[in-house]
A and B are shown apart, each in its own frame.
Chain A
C-alpha cells in the first residue's frame, strides 16, 4: 500500500469527520440535555444549505451568504423549537420520533415548494478555489482544508463554551441531571431554546459549508442524519468531546475503508466478487465499529449521563 495515498485518504477522512462533527455537536446536545430525539436535525442542515444558496445568489458573496445563512438557520431552529418541539419534551421517544419525522417530510416539501425540484448551485469563493499540495503527488482542494480549519475553530469554541462559561456549566449540568438543574431554579425552558438554537446554527453551518461540495436538493439531510446518529451513539450522548472523537473516527474509518477495502478483498477473491462486495462491506464498516464500541462501552466513549 502506498503510504502517501494512505495519508491523503486519512486527510479526506478527517475532513469528512469534521463535517460530521458540526452536525453531531448540535444533535448530541439536544439529545443529551433535552432528552429529545430530533430526526429533523438533518432538515436544519438542508435548510442551512438552501439558505446559503439563496443568500449567496442574493448577495453574490460566499462570506455574506454564510454570515446570513447561519443566523437564519438559528432562527428557523428556534421557531421549530417554540412551535413544535416544546410540546414534546414530556412525551416518550416514540412520539418525538413520529413528530420530528413529520418535520422531515414538511421541510423536504417546503424547500421544493419554495425553490423547485431541481438541485441548486453554490459556488466556492475565488480565494478558496484550486488545490494545494500537502501530500506529495496529491493536490488537495483548498476549500476542503478551509472546512477542516472552520471545523477545528468551532470545536475550540464549543470546548471553551462548555468548559469555561456559566452557560457551559448549565449545559453540562443539564446533560448530567436535568431535574436537578430545574430544581435549582434555572429557567430550563430558556436553556433548551438556547441549546436548540445553537444546535440549529451548527447544523446550518455544516449545511452551508457542504453546499459547494454537494448537491443542494430536497432530502439531502436524510442520509447524513444516519451517520450523525452513529457518531453521537459512538461518542456518548451529550458529550461534545465524544462527538468530536467519534466524528473523526467515523470519517476516517469510512473513507479509508471505502478506499482500501475493495483493494484488500481483491487479494482474496476474484475481481468481480471483490468489486461487488467491497462497497457493500465498506458501507457497513462504521456500523461494525459502532457495534464493537458499544459492546465494550454501552454508553459510548465519553458518556456524561448519570441516571
Chain B
C-alpha cells in the first residue's frame, strides 16, 4: 500500500499496518514524538491498536528538548 508519511509517498509491503509496526519498520526509535493520522492525534497508548491504511496521511514529529 501507499501512504503519505511526512509529505513523502511511502510504499509499504502490507495492506495495513499498526502505528507501532510502522515505527519499527521505519526505525523511528526516538520516544518523544507526536503522530497524527489524517489530521487526528493518535494517543501513545493506542499505537498498537491504531491501523494505518492505503492512502492515509501520516505525520510524525519528534519533540526535541531545548527552548
Do A and B bind? Answer: no
